[in-house]
Chains A and B, each alone.
Chain A
Amino acid sequence: MAVAATTETGARPSWSGRRPSAPAWAGTVPFFAYVGVFLLWPTGIVVVDALKNPNGSWAFSNISELGDPLVRGYFIGSFKLCLLSSVSGAVFGAILAYAVASGNPDGMVRRLYLAISGVLAQFGGVTLAFAFLVLLGPVGLLFHASWYFDFPWGIGLIYTYFQIPLMVLVFLPAIDGLKVQWREASENLGASAWQYWRYVGGPLLAPAFLGTTLLLFANALSAFATIEAWENQIAYIVPQQISTALSSEVGLSNVNVADLLALGMVIMVAIVMTGYALLQRRAARWLR
Chain B
Amino acid sequence: MASSPMTRTQDGVARTAVEVRMEGLSRHYGPVVALDRLDLTLQPGELVALLGPSGCGKTTTLRLVAGLEDADTGHITVGGKDITRVSAAKRDMGMVFQAYSLFPHMTVRQNVAFGLRLRKVSGAQRDKRAIEMLDLVGLATQADRYPHQISGGQQQRVALARALAIEPQVLLLDEPLSALDAKVRAQLRDQIRRIQLEVGITTLFVTHDQEEALAIADRVGVMREGRLDQLAPPTEVYSRPATSFVAEFVGLSNRLTGEVRGGEVTVRGCTLPLVERDVPDGQVVALVRPEAVTLASHTAPEPGPLVGTVIAVTFLGATSRVTVDLGDTTVLAQLSTSDASALPAGSRVTLTIRPDPVLVSASSEPAAAADEEA
Q: Which residues of A contact B (CB under 8 A)?
A: 179, 181-182, 184-192, 195, 199-200, 203-204, 285-286
Contacts and interface: CB of A to CB of B under 8 A. Distances in A.
Q: Which of B66, B99, B114, B166 has the most CB of A within 10 A?
A: B114
Contacts of B88: 184, 187-188
B208 to A, nearest CB: 18
B103 A195 contact: no
The A interface is mostly helix, strand or loop, or mixed, namely helix
Interface string B112-140: 00110111000000000000000000000
Interface residues of B, number: 29
A286 B88 CA distance: 25
Contacts of B114: 186, 189, 199
B105 A204 contact: yes
B326 to A, nearest CB: 40
A39 B115 CA distance: 50
A47 B101 CA distance: 48
B245 interface: no
Contacts, number: 70
B89 A182 contact: no
B118 A181 contact: no
A179 B100 contact: yes
B188 interface: no
A189 B103 contact: no
A188 B92 CA distance: 8
B90 interface: yes
Interface string B58-100: 0000000011100000000000000000001111111101011
Given A181-B97, A184-B68, A285-B148, A189 B118 contact: yes
Contact of B101 (A185, A190, A199): A185
Given A181-B99, A203-B105, A189 B162 contact: yes
B194 to A, nearest CB: 23
B104 interface: yes
Contact of B119 (A179, A185, A190, A203): A190
Given A195-B118, A199-B114, A285-B148, A188 B104 contact: no
A179 B104 CA distance: 11
A203 B104 CA distance: 10
A190 B118 contact: yes
A189 B115 contact: yes
8 contacts: A179-B101, A184-B66, A184-B97, A188-B95, A189-B166, A191-B118, A204-B103, A286-B105
Nearest to B102: A185
Given A191-B118, A195-B118, A182 B68 contact: no
Contact of A191 (B89, B91, B148, B159): B89
Nearest to B91: A188
Contacts of B148: 285
Contacts of B101: 179, 181-182, 184-185
A190 B104 CA distance: 18
B113 to A, nearest CB: 10
B168 to A, nearest CB: 9
Contacts of B91: 188
Nearest to B104: A286
Contacts of B102: 185
B119 A188 contact: no
B105 A190 contact: no
A188 B100 contact: no
A188 B89 CA distance: 5
Given A187-B89, A188-B66, A190-B89, A204 B118 contact: no
A186 B102 CA distance: 10
Contacts of B159: 185
A179 B105 CA distance: 13
Given A181-B99, A195-B118, A188 B93 contact: yes
Nearest to B95: A188
A189 B96 CA distance: 11
Given A179-B100, A189-B94, A191-B89, 4 more contacts: A184-B66, A184-B97, A190-B89, A191-B118
A285 B88 CA distance: 29
Contacts of A285: 104, 148
A186 B97 CA distance: 12
B68 A200 contact: no
